[in-house]
Structure 1
Amino acid sequence: MNKYIVGLVFVVVFGITNALSSTSTIFEDHKLQTYSPIVAGAKDILFEIRVDGLIDNIKRTTAISNIEDLYFRFYWVYPGEYRIEVEGLPKGFAVLKSNLKNQVKPYVDMIFSEDFIRQFERTPFVQDPKEKNSFIKKEESASSVSKVRVKLNEKNLLSEIYSKSPYSTVLSKFEYKLRSWSNGKNVLTKITVEEKGSGIVNLKTIDVEREVFSGIGLPSEINVEEEVSRDGKSIAKTNLKLKFSNYNINTGKADRFIRDSK
């Protein structure tokens, strides 16, 4: 469930800002008005992410006890190639390292990836006759059971994505703010995702804080809160806090590492 939610949100929110078949003008205002670190000049970035409580969790759930520092080192190169390295664990533990990478990868995709647009370039949207500034995916056949609707706010920024399938519905909402460093561009600060299916409600809230590094607005912290409910009663709550640091921007270090690792 969680993987599906994260994938849907990040694919759509960053894919939707680019051309979508013959309806590209629908999203042109959104693309022009929203902040992108790539448009701002980020081409080669090396940075680190630390997750609150991760060391204690590893010590509690594995046989590894001697950990002084544990973090992820990311090497990212435009237009979207990157490598993730887990630093601080002993040699081996390939499965554990892979699982840890998958835990943080969607949030890096959220900030940097533009490759997802290809999944939507062939997706035509048409005006929803029932609601202004709302557009629905054009049905490919009369028997289609999946529905997708996108909604723009009064500034023509993407505000909602609604997806319906035979087994679940997903409603994603997006909030933006102007920042002193964003040159009049709207910065995505919050994503709320609610998935309903089989009597279960999964509510995920993603808050993104950014700071300026070498003239580019990049994440300093991402906080993810998730709650699962059944029949109106909470059955599980989790929190994930990612802290970004040690940015090296456009130094060529990421490109060299990626080329050398091939």
Structure 2
Amino acid sequence: MKYLLIVFISLLCTSVTAREIPEINEFDIRYYHPENFGLKDLVFEIRVSNLKETLNKRQNFGKMEDLYFKVYWMFPGQYQIRVEGFPNGFQEVKYQLKQMIKNRLDFVIPLKLSPRVRGYALDYFNSPGVTAIKGKDRVGSSPVSEIQLKFKKNGMLEEFKTFSPTGVNSTVFDLTSKSWSNNKWVVNKMTTKLIQGVQISTIDNEFTYQTVEGFGFPKKVEISTTQEIMVNNKTDSRTVKSVIEFSNFEVNKGKAQKYMMRGMKN
């Protein structure tokens, strides 16, 4: 009985917190999510510049004509990723490549903010010129112990920051609306800074969009990654540039569902 009472109080506190922090749900409503406009089934391809060359520096995988990824996505969030143009075998490498692409799917189908903060006890804190919200991990089980969000006066998310034992990660957003986005916001550019001990990594992502059958999707994302390391009171830095290209979108053709159903039968 005591355990049930604790659970009930916890759920009650969660719902009260959600009601008291309206900025998060309002941001989700005002941000562009293609599934809110009828996207149910999607197939597309992703290509990453210099990926073949980078892989062959690690290990000789032989000749690769066109290394790319085929992504199958189905509402509300099921997906599968296939590595195309890569030699047979090398399952561990393929797994790592899929994980890399998994972390980029948010560029195409943006994750909503509400589920990302659900496990945190939220409260406001003072920060000049913005609405600032902080969240503490409720039970101490998350690798991220604290989050901070800052919203502009018009409701746009300006910064998302996380704190963990490995370091501090902050992302600053440049948002706008497009002719195809139904007055919803999309990201033009985002800059992520990760501080881990003596190393600082800064990642700039610049987005170019395309429309396919009335939906807006990224055409390419230009990425510039700068790593700075403090050694003997001197800063050693290097910058790497890459481009992620998105193409061959097939919208609501039922192909993702067909592919996934075929995989379930095998």
Partners in 2 of 1:20 and 1:77 — Cα distance? Answer: 31
Residue in 2 aligned with 1:156? Answer: 155
Contact 1:226 1:237 in 2 (8 A): yes
Measured against aligned partners, the alpha-carbon deviations of 1:54-112 in whole angstroms (never above 9, x if no partner) come to 23334444333332211100000011111110111222121221122122221113432
Matched residue type, 2:244? L
Residue in 1 aligned with 2:135? Answer: 137
Matched residue type, 2:260? I
CA shift, 1:235, in A, is 3.0
CA shift, 1:113, in A, is 5.5
Partners in 2 of 1:92 and 1:204 — Cα distance? Answer: 32
Aligned-partner SS, 1:39: helix
1:18-57 equivalences in 2 (<5 Å): 21-57=18-54
Residue in 2 aligned with 1:223? Answer: 222
Matching residue within 219, 223, 240 for 1:238: 240
Residue in 1 aligned with 2:194? Answer: 195
Partners in 2 of 1:20 and 1:261 — Cα distance? Answer: 41
Partners in 2 of 1:261 and 1:34 — Cα distance? Answer: 33
Note the aligned Cα RMSD (angstroms): 2.6
Aligned-partner SS, 2:179: coil
| 1:66 paired to 2:63 | yes
Contact 2:28 2:114 in 1 (8 A): no
Contact 1:159 1:173 in 2 (8 A): yes
Residue in 1 aligned with 2:206? Answer: 207
Partners in 2 of 1:124 and 1:60 — Cα distance? Answer: 45
Q: 1:219 to 1:149 in 2, by over 3 A?
A: same
Structure 1, unaligned runs of 5 or more:
1-18
1:77-226 equivalences in 2 (<5 Å): 77-112=74-109, 114=111, 117-131=114-128, 132-137=130-135, 146-165=145-164, 167-226=166-225
Query: How many residue pairs align between the two structures?
Result: 241
Q: Output the TM-score relative to the length of structure 1.
A: 0.82
Q: 1:128 to 1:248 in 2, by over 3 A?
A: same
Partners in 2 of 1:24 and 1:81 — Cα distance? Answer: 29
Q: 1:119 to 1:188 in 2, by over 3 A?
A: closer
Matched residue type, 2:105? V
CA shift, 1:151, in A, is 0.5
Measured against aligned partners, the alpha-carbon deviations of 1:182-206 in whole angstroms (never above 9, x if no partner) come to 1211211222111223121111112
Residue in 2 aligned with 1:4? Answer: none
CA shift, 1:244, in A, is 0.7
Residue in 2 aligned with 1:256? Answer: 258
Contact 1:21 1:123 in 2 (8 A): no
Contact 1:86 1:101 in 2 (8 A): yes
Would you identify which runs of 4 or more consecutive aligned residues in structure 1 move more than 6 Å?
none
Q: 1:65 to 1:119 in 2, by over 3 A?
A: same
Q: 1:104 to 1:129 in 2, by over 3 A?
A: same
Aligned-partner SS, 1:95: helix
- Further displaced range: 115-124 or 221-230: 115-124
CA shift, 1:125, in A, is 1.7
Aligned-partner SS, 1:156: coil
Structure showing greater Rg: 2
Structure 2, unaligned runs of 5 or more:
1-15
Q: Output the TM-score relative to the length of structure 2.
A: 0.80
CA shift, 1:115, in A, is 7.7
